[in-house]
Chains A and B, each alone.
Chain A
């Protein structure tokens, strides 16, 4: 699967896109834990208790769907990491 980082996460990750090989479907919370481990600056966007991700402060989008912690991602998915923006 592909993880695509949008601003400012592309700069924080030092990469616009990351490929992950998944053997089986994985919950979003595990995906976030992997990203937080791999990308130090991503850690502050994920809240963990022990090893388990409890919540996250980015928006994950797959196609038209906004992903939640328990949703499953799998091989072939493209997940975009967008900043949580609100204002106006």
Chain B
């Protein structure tokens, strides 16, 4: 089968053993790659009894058939594991260059098992892999580490690593790659799993070519489509992912004050939105491999209380969670916190949500100054927010508790803390208020890793995107209820394909069609597929991930939103007071999915999907 390296690297850290296994082509056809294929492997090799931080858990890095080919935005890889934050399926997606270089080194993926008895890193180069001692590298942050490992291996190597947060078991620790450009497999605590295995980094390099079935046809198709995507992505390139932040505030979509704020935050939003970053601290634009969009930011701050900052800049989600959720409108404080999260290796969404949760607990008198280490944990205090990020990264003082995530922290604090601990299935909520997108609400409630804006991406089909191939001829009005269960199921199936192929979802804003993706798949792999069959694969992948969760005890009771988002209306000039009617939409969603009323895939659906 073309398009693949054809090999998977298996590393058993308990035994210190490295071996190569052939890629199972039948599985590759059924699940493609990325988090699709990795979900199947995780299902087969772990289960409800697996301790996420124990040696039995798997940490799976997986590319797709497009990595290291000319397909646009294909510089991505997935990390899949059982999450120490949620206790269920976790997938995290990162851009950059690490994935394509793993493939050029001769491997489609890496499956890590066991636990090393001392800190190690793995060096993968041109078809070979070795486990190396990392004792002297333990404790280094990801920016420092990147340079040190490239010195020991080769300067062109690409490094995926954990920082101190992963070493110390912060349950939302990330795995960072591409050095100071700060690309992150952020969500779900993959970095904590890596730390639990005493694995500090995986460095990759290689020069192998990927054989394609019809490279000439691919070249011709890309020649037509790439300029269109590049042109339509101008807004993204100009102001990054935070370009639309002020508009989101006007829409009521920007999260504020741990999701309880009433009124508008207009002037503050302008201070931290993409255009402000472009004007004040931007030094350059970052492109992942084969990217034509360029949403990545490079920033620099060389004076003032937060200097120095230099490297990858904050994304929209970081502005929203580290910033507006804490009512912090200080751009430089957010950029500093972003860099600290990158260096320590932490998800900025969960980290920001944990700090906002702590600010509310402090406001309500549930945590004291003694517990905060004499910090005034007040809304809007950028300086205090930055100090809390450091405490979490180092797991010092209150950082010890907040590093557990908001669900566990609320349980520990007790009293009514659970009322303002906002998460779905244990995963903190990203920066798009589900009260102003009904399909977005279904998506958050049903995504397999917990509250996720990307697994369904349905909220953008309620504003600006259409996809005739799935019957969405034009965007559905965001507050409409009818059809939102179906929309969410369909977009989740499509996004499952993106996550398996490892293509950036922002290409959709550039006008990329599903039909083109299916054609590229055939041109690269030689496997004929039409859109109908392609969507069936997407549906299979979503159900495979759901099956993992069902086995861990997940059902309808877990497919919900926190009470605050179902019962507290937003008010403010021009904002909608909508509350998503989740029960009704969920019933429709299960029906479209072919699941029972309890949210369990029915036998006939599993048979239809070959599961």
Is B238 within 8 A of A88, CB to CB? no
Interface residues of B in 226-272 (CB under 8 A from A): 231-232, 234-236, 238-239, 241-245, 247-248, 250-251
Tell me whether B526 is interfacial, beta carbon within 8 Å. no
A interface, over-half SS: mixed
Partner-binding segment picked from B172-180, B458-466, B578-586: B458-466
Interface residues of B in 434-479 (CB under 8 A from A): 453-454, 457, 460, 463-466, 474-475, 477
Contacts of A6 in B (CB 8 A): 231-232, 234-235
Is B509 within 8 A of A55, CB to CB? no
Alpha-carbon distance A53/B359, docked complex (angstroms) = 36
Tell me whether B510 is interfacial, beta carbon within 8 Å. yes
Is B242 within 8 A of A44, CB to CB? no
Tell me whether A11 is interfacial, beta carbon within 8 Å. yes
Is B244 within 8 A of A41, CB to CB? no
Is B475 within 8 A of A85, CB to CB? no
Interface residues of A, count at CB 8 A: 24
A48 CB, nearest partner CB in chain B, Å: 10
Q: Report if A88-B317 is in contact (Cβ < 8 Å); known contacts: A6-B235, A47-B574, A83-B235.
A: yes
Q: Which of B243, B251, B315, B465 lies at the interface centre, i.e. has the most chain A CB atoms within 10 A of its CB?
A: B243
B574 CB, nearest partner CB in chain A, Å: 5
Alpha-carbon distance A87/B432, docked complex (angstroms) = 9
Alpha-carbon distance A12/B474, docked complex (angstroms) = 8
Partner-binding segment picked from A22-30, A31-39, A58-66, A70-78: A58-66
Q: Report if A7-B510 is in contact (Cβ < 8 Å); known contacts: A57-B251, A83-B235.
A: yes
Contacts of A50 in B (CB 8 A): none
Is B250 within 8 A of A88, CB to CB? no
Is A85 within 8 A of B275, CB to CB? no
With CB as the reference atom, state the residue of chain A lying closest to B240.
A88
Contacts of A56 in B (CB 8 A): 247, 250
Q: Report if A86-B248 is in contact (Cβ < 8 Å); known contacts: A6-B235, A61-B235.
A: yes
Is A88 within 8 A of B241, CB to CB? yes
With CB as the reference atom, state the residue of chain B lying closest to A80.
B234
A84 CB, nearest partner CB in chain B, Å: 3
Interface residues of B, count at CB 8 A: 41
Contacts of A82 in B (CB 8 A): 234-235
Alpha-carbon distance A74/B505, docked complex (angstroms) = 36
Contacts of B295 in A (CB 8 A): 88
Tell me whether B107 is interfacial, beta carbon within 8 Å. no
Contacts of B236 in A (CB 8 A): 85
Is A86 within 8 A of B234, CB to CB? no
Is A85 within 8 A of B241, CB to CB? yes
Tell me whether A8 is interfacial, beta carbon within 8 Å. yes
Alpha-carbon distance A54/B572, docked complex (angstroms) = 13
With CB as the reference atom, state the residue of chain B lying closest to A55.
B250
Tell me whether B595 is interfacial, beta carbon within 8 Å. no
Tell me whether B520 is interfacial, beta carbon within 8 Å. no
Cβ contact of B454, chosen from A11, A61, A80, A87, cutoff 8 A: A87
Tell me whether B316 is interfacial, beta carbon within 8 Å. yes
Alpha-carbon distance A86/B239, docked complex (angstroms) = 10
Tell me whether B506 is interfacial, beta carbon within 8 Å. yes
Is A88 within 8 A of B235, CB to CB? no
Is A85 within 8 A of B250, CB to CB? no
Contacts of B48 in A (CB 8 A): none
Which A residues are closer than 8 A to B by beta carbons? 6-8, 11-12, 41, 44, 47, 54-59, 61, 66, 80, 82-88
Which B residues are closer than 8 A to A by beta carbons? 231-232, 234-236, 238-239, 241-245, 247-248, 250-251, 275, 295, 315-317, 320, 431, 453-454, 457, 460, 463-466, 474-475, 477, 505-506, 509-511, 573-574
Per CB-CB distance, the 4 closest pairs between chain A and chain B, nearest first, are: A84-B244, A82-B235, A84-B247, A86-B316
